[in-house]
Amino acid sequence: MTEATAPVPPASKTKLRLGTRNSPLAMAQAYETRARLCAAHGWAEDEVELVPVLASGDKVLDRPLSEIGGKALWTKELDQWLGEGRIDLSVHSAKDVETIRPREFHFPAFLPRADRRDSLVGAASIAAIPQGAIVGTSAPRRAAQLLNLRPDCTVVTFRGNVATRLKKLAEGEAEVTFLAAAGLERLDQSEVGHPLSCDEWIPAAAQGVIAIECRADDATTTALLAAIDHAPTRAELEAERALLAELGGTCHSPVAVLCELADGALTMRAALFSPDGVERIEGTARLSPGDHAPVRALAAELLARATPGIAAHFNAGK
């Protein structure tokens, strides 16, 4: 892009207004987004105004998301502000964004993927979790995958930001919990967890990715954000989200997926579970970036093999 055609902030205002949840991790993600935008366009930091928004998901912490509205609880306030033009863009943890989004919004940028692994806090490995331990998590994927590997454990609901969950752990509400390695890294707290190998423990779709959204009809902001889009991350993320869409996965669905780009091709591994972890099926696919036909075929294969205990938690074809 030449200097003559490079997008500049709208003349009617001096700042882009970046909406974000106001949790410490969300703010860290917003700071990273602002830094990348300013570096890409040669702006001073004050050209991007951070606008913290309290999300519903941060207000209700005593129940699983699946019981109180699902992933939309992380996005609905930001969506409202974005739709009303009170902010120009919003920043999300990609794994917390619903698979089907409102048509008036789109994602011009995904930042380079950070560590996609889960970290175990309270034990050095799945095998090292004490026999019969109480494990805190509210993620159906983590609960089912744990019970599949360690049926002796008991899972209890564990919600809140990183600090809240670490406090609950310290107070004895559980002996072990899971946190995203990328979140700990962004908070400079990597030392509290033990990252789990993806060979043994499959992460969540879109984990480790910062997604940046704006109005689909806002050509100026779209062009500004395109400058910081990371194509390899986009290829992985779009394939993972395509799988969730084909499966009909929701916040209730215990599904794990690992999609990695290497030598111009994507390799996908996915596992579906029954919530109690007793039943598990896996499959793999290899695809080119942007070609989701193999993803659709993998989803169809998994659903065809799914036991009733698994299939009941996916909505494809319903």
Q: Would you give the distance in Å from CA 250 to the centre of its chain?
A: 13
DSSP structure string for 280-318: EEEEEEEE-TT--HHHHHHHHHHHHH--HHHHTT--TT-
Residues involved in catalysis: 96
Q: Which two tokens stand for residue 104?
A: 């008036």
Q: How far is CA 165 from the centre of its chain?
A: 18
Q: CA angle, 44 as apex, 40 and 48 as ends, to 5°?
A: 80
What letter would DSSP give residue 63?
S
**Distances 260 to 114, 116, 162, 267 between C-alpha atoms, Å:** 13, 10, 26, 5
Give the CA distances from residue 76 to residues 25, 172, 220, 267, in Å, rounded to whole numbers and listed in that order: 18, 33, 23, 33
- Give Cα 187 distance to the centre of its chain: 16
Does residue 63 contact residue 157 with C-beta atoms inside 8 Å? yes
Strand order in the sheet with 48-53: 48-53, 16-21, 89-93, 210-215, 105-110
- CA–CA gap between residue 34 and residue 26 (Å, rounded): 12
Measured in degrees and rounded to the nearest 5, phi and psi for residue 81 equal -65, -40
Tokens of 211: 């997604």
Q: Check if the beta carbon of residue 198 is closer than 8 Å to that of residue 206.
A: no
Q: Which residues of 44-72 are buried (b: 16+ CB within 10 A; e: fewer)?
A: eeebbbbbebebebbeeeeebbeeeebbb
